[in-house]
Amino acid sequence: MRILLLSDIHANYAALEAVIKDAGAFEQVWCLGDVVGYGPDPNECINRLLEFDLTCLAGNHDLGVTGKAALWDFTQDAREAIFWTRHALTTFNLDWLRSLPATNLSAGYGITLVHASPRDPVWEYIMTEEIAVKNLDMFNTPICLNGHTHFPAIFRKPWDGLKVLEEHLPVNSPIQFHPYDRVFINPGSVGQPRDEDPRAAYALIDLDQMTLTHHRVLYDVTATQTKMKAEKFPSRLTRRLRFGQ
């Protein structure tokens, strides 16, 4: 079975659509949260996701929009986008966002899904080996898939190793899951990459082979920026999409 793994779509429909086309055939979508916030297409993105057999977590921006996360924890630009999103969303889609779980979720197959980190599913950024180590005891499967940082990453503690080490997450080249390793894998952000590569990021998981393949795909950045300008989004949010920052 093939799974399309998405995170941090951030209401960027052009990016989401490019990813779906690039992915080819898949049976399910696992989405690690932050479907909305920052971008101009919250309804379009939710409606598109709901066409699939979907497992979806709430991210901090989803919780900000639904009033479940305090807004002073966000930057001014993020807050403005959250206010805009609240008004733009249909009642149905707002209710759907409200229904998303903000917890660690077992996906079966030895895989845990989380938006941020296992010990803080909403806010903690797994950016360093030190933080990855501190989260190892907070989930009990070999694999934890996380988002939130907008940086594709892999932190692994091999079954015969003592330390958690960051590894390079290759593009277009499958990595094998090992049942005795402990590993965090972040597929990067669909709608607002921050690793200085503006292409949309995602991953495909093959549950028969137990592999994950990271992908990047070009999308029409200008189309998203044009909508953001028309809706008077903060200019920094509009500009950063061009540079993947």
Spatial separation of the C-alpha atoms in residues 40 and 177, rounded to whole Å: 36
The token pair at 116 is 């941020």
At residue 195, what are phi and psi to the nearest 5 degrees? -100, 25
Site for Zn ion in 83-142 (CB under 5 A): none
Quick one: 8 or 41, whose CB is closer to Zn ion?
8
Judge whether 154 and 185 are in contact, CB under 8 Å. Answer: yes
Residue nearest Zn ion, Cβ-based: 34
Instruction: Pick between residue 142 and residue 152 the one whose CB is nearest to Zn ion.
Output: 152
Coil, helix or strand at residue 136: helix
Q: Which residue has the tokens 């799974």?
A: 3
Provide the pairing of β-strand 2-6 with 111-114. Answer: unpaired
* Min dist. Cβ of residue 69 to Zn ion (A): 12
| Tokens read off for 96 | 């759907």
CA 45, CA 40: separation in Å to the nearest integer? 10
Q: Contacts with Zn ion: how many residues (CB under 5 A)?
A: 2
User: In this complex, which beta carbon is closest to Zn ion, that of residue 107 or of residue 190?
Assistant: 190
Pick the piece of the chain touching Zn ion (CB under 5 A) from 7-15, 73-81, 180-188, 215-223: 7-15
Interacting span for Zn ion (CB under 5 A) from 2-10, 90-98, 158-166, 235-243: 2-10
Q: Which two tokens stand for residue 103?
A: 């917890």
The smaller minimum CB distance to Zn ion, of residues 39 and 142, is found at: 39
Contact string (CB under 5 A) for Zn ion, positions 23-52, x = contact: -----------x------------------
Least distance (Å) from Zn ion to the CB of residue 108?
Answer: 25
Q: Contact region for Zn ion (CB under 5 A) — 3-11, 103-111, 152-160, 164-172?
A: 3-11
**Taking the complex as a whole, how short is the minimal distance between the CB of residue 58 and Zn ion, in angstroms?**
11
- Secondary element (H or E) of residue 106: strand 105-108
Least distance from C-beta 238 to Zn ion, angstroms?
A: 16
Closer of 85 and 141 to Zn ion (Cβ):
85
Question: Measured between alpha carbons, how far is 88 from 240 in angstroms, rounded to an integer?
Answer: 22
Q: Out of 3, 4, 5, 8, point to the residue binding Zn ion (CB under 5 A).
A: 8
Find the part of the chain contacting Zn ion (CB under 5 A) among 1-9, 116-124, 211-219, 233-241.
1-9
- Rounded-to-integer distance, Cα 161 and Cα 158, Å: 5
80 Cα distance to chain centroid: 21
The nearest distance, CB 206 to Zn ion, in angstroms, is: 26
d(CA 176, CA 58): 27
Which residue has tokens 């991953």?
Answer: 203
Counting contacts by CB under 5 A, is residue 62 touching Zn ion?
no
Per CB under 5 A, residues contacting Zn ion are 8, 34
